[in-house]
Each structure stands twice: as C-alpha cells, then as structure tokens.
Amino acid sequence: MSALASIRDLTLTYRRDGTAVAALKNINLDIVAGERLAIIGESGSGKSTLALAIAGLLPASARVEGHVDWFINPSSTLGAKAPLVERNPQKSFAKPSRPPLLGHDIGFVFQDPSASLDPVMAIGKQIAEVARTHLGLSWPQAYAKAKALLQRVRLPDPDSALHAFPHQLSGGQKQRVAIAAAIAAGPKLLIADEATSALDTIVQAEIVALIRQLVAEDGMTLLFISHDIALAAELAERIAVFRHGQLVELGTTARIVGAPTQPYTRTLLDAHIGLDAAPLLDQAGLPA
C-alpha cells in the first residue's frame, strides 16, 4: 500500500477574540492512494478543519503544528487498488513530493455548492476555466471538456446546461456542477465535505452513487466527510472517527460498523440504529 498523504502530529488552533480554540489535536493519519476514506464525527469535532488543512485552505487565524507529507509523483498508483490495513503505518518509504495544488491535484466539494460556483458566470465557462487553467486547454477544447463533464455528472441536456447560470438549477444539479468543476483537472484526491448534507435523501443517494462512480472511473482517492455514519459506511472502505478534535478510532468500514472498540463509535452507531433499523453492514459497500 502506498500513502497519497501522511498527516503527522497535526495540531491546529484557531485564534478568535483573543481566545484559542483547539480544533485538531495531534492527528496521525495516512490517506492511502486509491482508497475511499470517510471522516465522521459530530458537529465541531474538527472534520472540516482537517479537510481545509489537507487542501491548504486554512484561514490566517489558524496556527498549525505538525505536517502533511504528500506523495503525488506522476507515476503514483493512480487507479491501483491498495490493500487496506487497520493499523496506520508510521513509516513511509517513499520520499515526500511537492505540495499539492488545489484544483489540480485536489478537487474540493463543499456542502453549499454556491460556495464554489460564481452566480454571474455560466456554468460551462466555470468548468471550462478549471480545465483551461490546469490542463492548458484552448477555450474550444475546454468547453468540449466541460460538456463531457456535464454528461458525466448526468446533468440533463448538457448543451444548453453549458449556458445556464447556477440560480437556474436545483440544489442537486448545482452540486453536480460543483463536482464537475472539482474533477475537471483530473485531481488525484477528491474531498467532499458534507457534500450531500443539504440535499433530501433521494438526491443525497444519487449524489453518493455519482461520487462513487466518478471516483472509480478516474481512479481518484476520496476523502468523504460526513456526520452521518450510515452514509459514510455506504461509500467508504475505511472510516476515521473524530471527536473533540481527536482521532478516536480508525479502521475498515466493516470493523468500525461491526466491532467498534470505542464507546463513542458505539454511540454513533446506536444513534443511527435508533432512527433506522436497517443493518449498516449490508450497506458497507463490501462484496456480499
């Protein structure tokens, strides 16, 4: 197995009104190339902070200790299936590479698609611009790419959708466009931070299926952030449980769902089972 990124001793504190908020405490976590990894935990547990730290999007008020090492050499294991182990490897054998470029190496999808879409620019141009900037395409090539991406995210009538503005689309359609823009440059890592949380359950399931398909087709690594353990179990091969800025438990989805070692993980599972009796393991995305 090879790591795409190794997070080492990451501690992060926000300064706000003269007080310090500890958002992440001594996090050690490897993101395995090609895996689907979910980060779960309740509100305020530090999930988004971790995502922003990985993507290099932290606000200036954040004080960071520790580091993230990247292994994004061109010959890396894109598309290869790495075996998953329970333990976090503390040794990396490869030399760290250059830091990643947002948009180029990392695609980021936010909960609110309006956060990444420009309200006064046609969506085709927004997607084409990503392809132009990062892939060096001409405008006609970039528009052709944008149209193909709108087809891939299954937006109806991609030809006219190219000229649509975000306000003309439903929430689910906007999120499809945001995903198209996020993957336009062929990033190795796709980060989805509560990307389906604002959508109703049917649309949510459709977007989860879409993310799963795109990640498989492009051989991307997925970091799926959610407060919903059932949704995470549906999509992810491994789950990392966060609480109060700490990584409390990490393992394969089957192990986390079937035999959690931490009482907090048990609580999250019980809370879900209380709402929906369907056994989580059947949804764990594992071969039957």
Ligand X SMILES: Nc1ncnc2c1ncn2[C@@H]1O[C@H](COP(=O)(O)OP(=O)(O)OP(=O)(O)O)[C@@H](O)[C@H]1O
Chain residues binding Ni ion by CB under 5 A are 47-48
By CB under 6 A, residue 14 contacts ligand X = yes
- Which residue, 143 or 264, is less far from ligand X as judged by CB? 264
- Which residue, 47 or 188, is less far from ligand X as judged by CB? 47
Q: Least distance (Å) from ligand X to the CB of residue 23? A: 4
Tell me the C-alpha distance between 38 and 234, whole Å.
10
When computed from its CA atoms, the radius of gyration of the chain, rounded to whole angstroms, is 19
Out of 2, 8, 11, 21, which residue is the one contacting ligand X (CB under 6 A)?
A: 21
Q: Least distance (Å) from ligand X to the CB of residue 245? A: 7
What three-state secondary structure class fits 194?
coil
- DSSP H stretches of helix in 157-252: 158-161, 171-183, 201-218, 229-235
- Which residue, 21 or 135, is less far from ligand X as judged by CB? 21
Q: Output the CA torsion 54→55→56→60 (10° steps).
A: -90
Tell me the C-alpha distance between 151 and 164, whole Å.
14
Amino acid at 285: G
- Which residue, 39 or 146, is less far from ligand X as judged by CB? 39
- Which residue, 46 or 124, is less far from ligand X as judged by CB? 46
By CB under 6 A, residue 227 contacts ligand X = yes
Tell me the C-alpha distance between 270 and 272, whole Å.
5
Q: Least distance (Å) from ligand X to the CB of residue 226? A: 9
Q: Least distance (Å) from Ni ion to the CB of residue 16? A: 16
Return the one option of ligand X, Ni ion, none that residue 41 interacts with (CB less than 5 to 8 A, by type). ligand X
Tell me the C-alpha distance between 92 and 4, whole Å.
10
Q: Least distance (Å) from ligand X to the CB of residue 24? A: 8
* Inter-CA distances, 264 with 38, 201, 228, 274, Å: 16, 25, 14, 15
The stretch near ligand X (CB under 6 A) out of 13-21, 157-165, 169-177, 270-278 is: 13-21
Report the candidate in 118, 119, 117, 143 with the shortest Cα–Cα distance to residue 129.
143
Residues that bind ligand X (CB under 6 A): 14, 16, 21, 23, 41, 43-49, 59, 61, 227
